[in-house]
């Protein structure tokens, strides 16, 4: 019989945590801004909004964009992303990590700022869909850093907050986890810096998928 796990439920972010997409997202935000003749956000500003909901992202990344043009910007961003999507790769070791966690008896879920359509497309292309028992997307409920995604996953799966662990690469992931009463790990190989993540006091900041696998083997 499997040993009892400290975190029977492990919830992952997608972009910048499982798939190496942060730089591409930045490029797409900048390209959409150029198309609309808006001031192009620098890399740090564009990286900061990864994982946020649409309105929060645009308010920060392109503050001069009128609200009436948010849908136009979002469509231009989407087209830029679709043109690059086939080039995105999982971080090395991700598939093996998920396989190992599933074999150990953990239930795995996703909480992502992606749209449902975007996540379904990404899971189909990566072949990872079968590892996850549930997911929440940014267009289905309150987006990060609001705790709704995690709270809804906990209710759906009949899990208690102390038995869940959130893993993400942004301060938005860690703030969401804190508000939901869920422990969190920050991974520093994605969108936000180690300094930003450490400022929110996660259990640990981890610099690679390999190191994440070791931490989970010992602590989860």
Reported as a single tens digit per residue, the pLDDT across 191-202 is 999 999 999 999
Rounded to the nearest angstrom, the gap between the alpha carbon of residue 22 and the centroid of all alpha carbons in its chain is: 10
* The last residue of a domain, from among 36, 64, 86: 86
If asked whether residues 132 and 174 sit together in one domain, one would say yes
Note if 13 is an active site residue. Answer: yes
Instruction: Choose among 49, 13, 50, 9: nearest CA to 136.
Output: 13
Residues 70, 165 within the same domain: no
- In percent, the amount of the chain with pLDDT more than 90 equals 96
pLDDT of residue 198: 97
The reply to whether 128 and 31 lie within a common domain is: no
Distance CA 100, CA 122 (A): 21
Per-residue CA distances from 207 to 90, 109, 169, 218 (Å): 15, 21, 10, 16
Same domain, 137 and 149: yes
The answer to whether residues 97 and 154 belong to one domain is yes
**Domain boundary residue, one of 37, 55, 86:** 86
The answer to whether residue 3 is domain-embedded is no
**Number of domains, the chain:** 2
CATH number at residue 152: 3.40.50.1000
Residue range(s) defining the domain that contains residue 207: 9-21+88-219
Residue 85 has pLDDT above 60, yes or no: yes
pLDDT, average across residues 158-186: 98
Residues 93 and 174 in one domain: yes
Catalytic residue, candidates 15, 56, 173, 183: 15
Joined tokens for residue 209: 């998928």
pLDDT for residue 2 is more than 60:
no
Q: Is residue 80 part of a domain?
A: yes
Domain-located, residue 115: yes
What is the Cα–Cα distance from 56 to 132, expressed in whole angstroms? 27
Is residue 190 in a domain?
yes
Residue after which a domain boundary falls, among 56, 86, 116? 86
| Residue range 73-82: mean pLDDT, rounded | 96
Residue 169 annotated as catalytic: no
| 38 and 103 both lie in a single domain | no
pLDDT category of residue 174 using cuts at 50, 70 and 90: very high
Residue 83 has pLDDT above 70, yes or no: yes
Radius of gyration of the chain (CA): 17
3-state SS, one letter per residue, for the chain: CCCCCCCCEEEECCECCCECCHHHHHHHHHHHHHHCCCCCCCHHHHHHCCCECHHHHHHHHCCCCCHHHHHHHHHHHHHHHHHHHHHCCECCCHHHHHHHHHHCCCEEEEEECCCHHHHHHHHHHHCCHHHEEEEEECCCCCCECCCHHHHHHHHHHCCCHHHEEEEECCHHHHHHHHHHCCEEEEECCCCCCHHHHHCCCCCCEECCHHHHHHHHHHHC
Mean pLDDT, rounded, for 187-193 = 97
Residue 80 is part of a domain; what is its CATH number? 1.10.150
pLDDT at 54 over 90: no
Measured distance CA(189)–CA(54) in Å, rounded? 23
Q: What is the mean pLDDT of residues 133-148?
A: 97
Position 3 scores a pLDDT of 54
Catalytic entry in 13, 56, 173, 183? 13
169 pLDDT above the threshold of 50: yes
């Amino acid at each position: 019989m499997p040993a009892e796990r400290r975190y029977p439920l492990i919830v992952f972010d997608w972009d910048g945590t499982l798939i190496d997409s942060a730089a591409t997202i930045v490029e797409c935000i900048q390209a959409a801004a150029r198309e609309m003749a808006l001031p192009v956000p620098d890399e740090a500003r564009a990286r900061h909004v990864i994982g946020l909901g649409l309105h929060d992202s645009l308010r920060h990344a392109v503050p001069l964009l009128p609200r009436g043009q948010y849908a136009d910007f979002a469509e231009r961003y989407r087209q830029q992303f679709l043109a690059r999507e086939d080039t995105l790769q999982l971080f090395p070791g991700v598939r093996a990590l998920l396989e190992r966690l599933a074999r150990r008896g953990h239930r795995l879920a996703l909480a992502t700022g992606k749209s449902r359509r975007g996540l379904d497309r990404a899971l189909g292309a990566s072949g990872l869909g079968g590892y996850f028992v549930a997911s929440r997307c940014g267009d289905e409920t309150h987006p990060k850093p609001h705790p709704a995604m995690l709270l809804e996953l906990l209710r759906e799966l009949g899990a208690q907050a102390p038995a869940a662990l959130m893993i993400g690469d942004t301060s938005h992931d860690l703030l969401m986890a804190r508000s939901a009463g869920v422990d969190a790990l920050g991974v520093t190989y994605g969108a936000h810096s180690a300094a930003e993540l450490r400022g929110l006091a996660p259990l640990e900041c981890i610099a690679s998928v390999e190191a994440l696998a070791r931490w989970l083997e010992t602590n989860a």
